[in-house]
Amino acid sequence: MRPGAIKVFRTRLSIGALLGFTIVGINLAAVILAPVIAPYGQADLVGDVWAPPSAQFWLGLDSLGRDMLSRLLYGARTTVSIALLITVCSFAIGIMTGFTAAVIGRWVDIALSQLVDAVMAIPTLIFALVILSVLGTSVPALVGTIAVLDSTRVFRLCRAIGLNIVVMDYVEVARLRGEKLWWIMSREVLPNSLPPLITEFGLRFCFAFLFIAALSFVGLGIQPPIADWGGMVRDNAPAINFGGLAPLIPAAAIAQLTIGVNLLVDWYLSIHSRPHGLAA
């Protein structure tokens, strides 16, 4: 990156962006280092039910006497990793189908668009609950179900972007040279679609992250004894009746990561919504 670009990058790195980078960085460290820094195993029973925070148990214990801090760290690894995998899979499906519809057009565009519209007509949460009730609550079923449902949103975005790009002169030149579908999508359409796609990736990650938490809360997400933040809220919800804070800890973890990712998305949008961006 040129010195001028680095200077612009620094000047545009707002307080919100710094906060977003800090939040996401801490969560990534928890994902990577969970087995190293967690005081106990995620399923270890180490004390009394809902014991309050202490010098030994910094965040207290949960509904079965497991260390909340340890489960929070392992839950970060589980929830974030699965959400990231879902987002990558949904983008792989959405980008391929969306750009294919835009580049080929005609009956392919009509068929894919009608199929996506039919899937989107059903509320996502209800659709997921039905599918997972039939397929079971394994991690592959969870990833596949949410990725396919979420890819419909990515398809709509990629198709809209692709339709604006395929009419450009450089795409027409590539067609006249005899370039194939894959070459046009990967070399002409995709590179010119990156800013909105990167932004959408952050938003779709938040959606997948919150969706996993919601499914776990109703019992159809990640299953015990594996720790995840949505399941931790569900397991410790009765503590509210006794004035306990156990369910609020994973709920706050869900909120802070969502806020951090959205701060980065807002910052990225701000530096790419102006004519010269980082190229100044």
Per-residue pLDDT tens digits of the chain, which is 280 residues long: 444 444 445 546 788 889 999 999 999 999 999 999 999 999 889 988 888 888 999 998 998 899 999 999 999 999 999 999 999 999 999 999 999 999 888 899 999 999 999 999 888 888 898 898 888 888 899 999 999 999 999 999 999 999 999 888 888 888 888 888 888 888 888 888 988 999 999 999 999 999 998 898 888 888 888 889 998 999 898 888 887 888 899 999 999 999 999 999 988 888 876 544 343 3
Burial level of 36, CB count in 10 A (0-12/13-18/19+)?
exposed
- Give me the residue spans of the domains in the chain: 1-32, 79-247
Within 8 A by CB and 6+ apart from 43, the residues are 66, 225, 227
Task: Give the three-class secondary structure for 129.
Answer: helix
Closest to 249 measured CA to CA, from 264, 236, 262, 258: 236
The highest-level CATH class for domain 79-247 is mainly alpha
CB 256 within 8 A of CB 262: no
